[in-house]
A and B are shown apart, each in its own frame.
Chain A
Amino acid sequence: MNSTDTITSKQLIFIIIGAQVGMGIFSLPRLVSAEAHQDAWLAVLLGALVPLLMLIIIERLGRRMPELSFVSMNHFLFGRWLGSVMVFLFVFYVIFFNSTVVRIFTEITVIFLLPRTPVPVVALVVVLAIVYIINKDARVVARLNEVLFWIILPLIFLFMIPLVNADYTNLLPVGGAGFKAIVRGVLPSSYAYAGMEVLLVFYFLVKSKSEVIKAGILGLGWTTLVYLILTLICLLVWGSETIQIINWPALTVLKTIKFPVLERPEFLLLTVWMGVGIRPVMNLGFAAAYSLGEVLHVKRDKYFHLVVMAIALPIYILALLPPNLIIAFKWTEYAGYTFLLVGLLYPLLMLVITVIRGKGAQSA
């Protein structure tokens, strides 16, 4: 591991936030309220339990083998061949997941900001930026996450302004949607927390491993808070019924207000968000490139850019495959399912094997 590939636990907080809060935030209130109705905010809160469970599993796993990287861990637990296959599957997952993020990012940019620019051109620019970033080391990725976090922070206050149109009866009766409906809403809400799985790779890169759980909880806590606030705002302004006809409620909610000078706040938000929305691609992309480089024994200084390109190219191609927005939304749903597999079942399987192997795993 290069010295520039270590990060602090504080940086891990920003990486986790960056990996989770991307473009899904804009459609989250619609997806969750479709199932949980006025109790969507409760489903968003409960949805956070899924990544919390992931965090605990991955941390327990890492604690048992603190000196092993993600790739070494796979080799150790599954054997060299099967372990490499598992790493490749992880890389495929990242490619698929990132392609959906790039596509949705591109669609929003094209629909709201650049209606005449072809989707492949916007997607190309996005992917090139990603290639440039993940070609660097973990520390650069971490620092960029931190900078972008502070840039986006003031925008949270922008979202408060539509509350002038809030109607508290839209949230009532609390729990009235029924237990089953709320539980059904937890599933799409948990997809929005996709990104926690980067910890599988980044755990090894954190200097102070004892602080990982704290950093994870802080990162997840922030994400949950932001999701909760935005879902509540959308529900208060529109109610769960009207939200259903809006593709990106958390963005369109800014269209309900008018500033004297800044006529259209949603455009201001999007301009800033263009840097922020691709953070999940950047973080997951780095995790995949780092692991793929390691499994292929690629010299970091010489050929890492080829590994990055090998990941970026399929992301770009896959991002262009959905013929329309409706299919692209379907793909994001599939990406959500795979997230549960990769983020929850995969580390759980690894942890179970580690526990079964007992002391052997500890000494590894």
Chain B
Amino acid sequence: MLKKAGLIIIVFLLFNLCGCWDSQDLEDLSFPLAAAYDVHLSGSADSSDPPAEPGYKLVDLTTLVPNLAPKAEKPVNIKTLSGITIADARQRQGLTDADTYVTGMNQVIIMGEELARTGLNPFLDSLLRSPTVSGSMYFAVAAGRGEDILKTPIKNYNNMGIYLVALFNGIQQRTFIPVTRMEEFQRYQSTGKNPVAPILEQRGDRVIISGVAIFKKDRLVKKLDIEEGHELVLLRGIKGRSFLPFSRKVDGTYHRGAVLVSNSRKVKYNQNQQGHNFFITVKLNGSLEEHGYQALITEEHLQEIEKTIEQQVQTQCEIFINKMQEEIKVDCIDISKFALAKNRRVLEKDIDKPEFIQNANIQVKVKVHLQNVGETR
């Protein structure tokens, strides 16, 4: 009996061995909620950042860590450290902070514009390689430096990290803006695909989404404004819901209004002697939300509104496609994959070359269907 009891105790202790190594006191941990990566700027790092030989530091890592101490003066610690790589900058945290840095809770990652233009994969590697880091963290690009976004004082939220998470959560139900997550940025770098990401910008004492960043694989190549971002979402088929204003001329007078629509996209592709042909159909379904024409809405009116929006959105989309082919020269509307789906082996070598998207024949058609007119007629 004693032997058995002894054996049970030994086995129990053995099974708890792992706790000897991996146990950590919660009070000794710091959980960054948001982080920003930037090209190293002399003097940007905290005064506590340990010095290094000139030219050693290449990248700045800014972290936003909520202060969990009950009587802390500041609700959040924002610190910039520099290093030759991100992991190097992270390890220098150990020289300036008593707490252990746990990357697993990070929910927002912001890339400085200059860094994004150099190509991000070398800097994201430490995030993608570490299993503790969540792939679902929000990914954004800063207009300017990412650290400036995190260091902007925030009024109505506990800290900038919480504000940014709240800003991105469910944004696609509020407006046509792409929201990108870390794993998505990685996923959209395969052949025939390119990622996009929202741009964060400091305006006065606020941080807003001011546009959309277009990437060629991991390198930022173009910044779009908000309106262009709307067209991008529609053409790329990122599902969302937003108000769309329209302007209709009736008897020489302009009547303005707005619809609330959800979008979807269909792409048909074929290849013939003219080259690669893409036929994009953008469908918008929703309801009339505002109408300046103060008369009862008839079925005819509704159809006219639908046609007005169709023409309006189609024109905007065509302008955008033209810009993409002439200026951006990157398939940012995610249509090359349909060509690959037909003939992957032949096309995969050339599909990412600018000529492919430049020479493609892209036609777009917009279909609007308004299901209801709200509570009043």
> B338 and A169: CB pair below 8 A?
yes
Among A111, A167, A255, which residue has its beta carbon within 8 angstroms of that of B135? A255
The secondary structure that dominates the B interface is helix
- Provide the A97-125 mask, 1 if CB < 8 A to any CB of B, else 0: 00000000000000110111110011011
Among B131, B183, B190, B337, which residue has its beta carbon within 8 angstroms of that of A111? B131
Among B15, B131, B342, which residue has its beta carbon within 8 angstroms of that of A112? B131
> B136 and A257: CB pair below 8 A?
yes
Count chain B residues whose beta carbon lies closer than 8 angstroms to a beta carbon of A.
30
B11 contacts A by Cβ under 8 Å = yes
- Known A121-B18, A169-B340, A172-B344; judge A237-B132 contact (CB<8 A): no
- Known A114-B21, A117-B22, A255-B135; judge A172-B341 contact (CB<8 A): yes
- Provide the B10-50 mask, 1 if CB < 8 A to any CB of A, else 0: 01001101101110000000000000000000000000000
CA distance A70 to B131 in the complex (A): 43
CA distance A130 to B326 in the complex (A): 64
Among A114, A117, A124, A173, which residue has its beta carbon within 8 angstroms of that of B342? A173
Give chain A interface residues in 109-159, CB to chain B under 8 Å: 111-112, 114-118, 121-122, 124-125, 128, 132
CA distance A165 to B190 in the complex (A): 15
Please, which residue of chain B has its CB at the minimum distance from the CB of A178? B345
B184 contacts A by Cβ under 8 Å = yes
A38 contacts B by Cβ under 8 Å = yes
CA distance A170 to B336 in the complex (A): 12
> B134 and A176: CB pair below 8 A?
no
CA distance A145 to B4 in the complex (A): 26
> A117 and B136: CB pair below 8 A?
no
Chain B residues, Cβ within 8 Å of A173? 341-344
> A169 and B18: CB pair below 8 A?
no
B186 contacts A by Cβ under 8 Å = yes
CA distance A324 to B132 in the complex (A): 20
Chain B residues, Cβ within 8 Å of A37? 344
CA distance A294 to B184 in the complex (A): 55
Please, which residue of chain A has its CB at the minimum distance from the CB of B338? A169
| A263 → chain B closest CB, angstroms | 7
> A115 and B338: CB pair below 8 A?
no
Size band of the interface chain A makes with B: 35 or more
> A121 and B11: CB pair below 8 A?
no
> A125 and B18: CB pair below 8 A?
yes
Among A111, A112, A125, A258, which residue has its beta carbon within 8 angstroms of that of B17? A125
Chain A residues, Cβ within 8 Å of B175? none
Among A121, A239, A258, which residue has its beta carbon within 8 angstroms of that of B136? A258
- Provide the A218-261 mask, 1 if CB < 8 A to any CB of B, else 0: 00000000000000000001110110000000001001111000
CA distance A263 to B136 in the complex (A): 9
| A174 → chain B closest CB, angstroms | 10
> A237 and B136: CB pair below 8 A?
no
| B90 → chain A closest CB, angstroms | 15
B323 contacts A by Cβ under 8 Å = no
CA distance A237 to B340 in the complex (A): 16
- Known A121-B21, A172-B341, A173-B344; judge A255-B136 contact (CB<8 A): yes
Chain A residues, Cβ within 8 Å of B104? 264
B285 contacts A by Cβ under 8 Å = no
B187 contacts A by Cβ under 8 Å = yes
- Provide the B117-149 mask, 1 if CB < 8 A to any CB of A, else 0: 000000000000001101110000000000000
> A118 and B21: CB pair below 8 A?
yes
- Known A117-B18, A128-B14, A241-B190; judge A176-B344 contact (CB<8 A): yes
B247 contacts A by Cβ under 8 Å = no
Please, which residue of chain B has its CB at the minimum distance from the CB of A254? B135
CA distance A255 to B130 in the complex (A): 11
Chain A residues, Cβ within 8 Å of B341? 169, 172-173
| B166 → chain A closest CB, angstroms | 14
Among B20, B132, B190, which residue has its beta carbon within 8 angstroms of that of A242? B190
Please, which residue of chain A has its CB at the minimum distance from the CB of B337? A169
> A176 and B183: CB pair below 8 A?
no
Chain A residues, Cβ within 8 Å of B187? 165, 237-239, 242, 256
CA distance A207 to B209 in the complex (A): 69
> B14 and A255: CB pair below 8 A?
no
Chain B residues, Cβ within 8 Å of A264? 104, 134
B191 contacts A by Cβ under 8 Å = yes
CA distance A165 to B238 in the complex (A): 11
Chain B residues, Cβ within 8 Å of A178? 345
Chain B residues, Cβ within 8 Å of A169? 337-338, 340-341
CA distance A37 to B190 in the complex (A): 13
Chain A residues, Cβ within 8 Å of B184? 165, 256
Chain A residues, Cβ within 8 Å of B344? 37-38, 172-173, 176-177
| B87 → chain A closest CB, angstroms | 14
Please, which residue of chain A has its CB at the minimum distance from the CB of B137? A258
> A114 and B135: CB pair below 8 A?
no
Please, which residue of chain A has its CB at the minimum distance from the CB of B182? A255
Chain B residues, Cβ within 8 Å of A258? 134, 136, 181
Give chain B interface residues in 323-370, CB to chain A under 8 Å: 337-338, 340-345
CA distance A111 to B22 in the complex (A): 12
CA distance A230 to B344 in the complex (A): 23
| B221 → chain A closest CB, angstroms | 21
- Provide the A159-197 mask, 1 if CB < 8 A to any CB of B, else 0: 000000101011011001110000000000000000000
CA distance A361 to B181 in the complex (A): 64
Please, which residue of chain A has its CB at the minimum distance from the CB of B348? A241
Among A122, A167, A176, which residue has its beta carbon within 8 angstroms of that of B345? A176
Chain A residues, Cβ within 8 Å of B18? 114, 117, 121-122, 125
CA distance A257 to B341 in the complex (A): 25
> A115 and B132: CB pair below 8 A?
yes
Chain A residues, Cβ within 8 Å of B338? 169
Q: Contacts A114-B18, A242-B186, A252-B135 known; list 5 others, CB within 8 Å.
A: A114-B21, A239-B190, A242-B187, A255-B183, A256-B183
Query: Which residues does B use to contact A, with CB under 8 Å?
Result: 11, 14-15, 17-18, 20-22, 104, 131-132, 134-136, 181, 183-184, 186-187, 189-191, 337-338, 340-345
Interchain Cβ contacts under 8 Å between A and B, 11 examples? A116-B21, A117-B18, A124-B17, A128-B14, A169-B340, A169-B341, A172-B342, A173-B344, A255-B134, A264-B104, A266-B131
Query: Which residues does A use to contact B, with CB under 8 Å?
Result: 37-38, 111-112, 114-118, 121-122, 124-125, 128, 132, 165, 167, 169-170, 172-173, 176-178, 237-239, 241-242, 252, 255-258, 263-264, 266
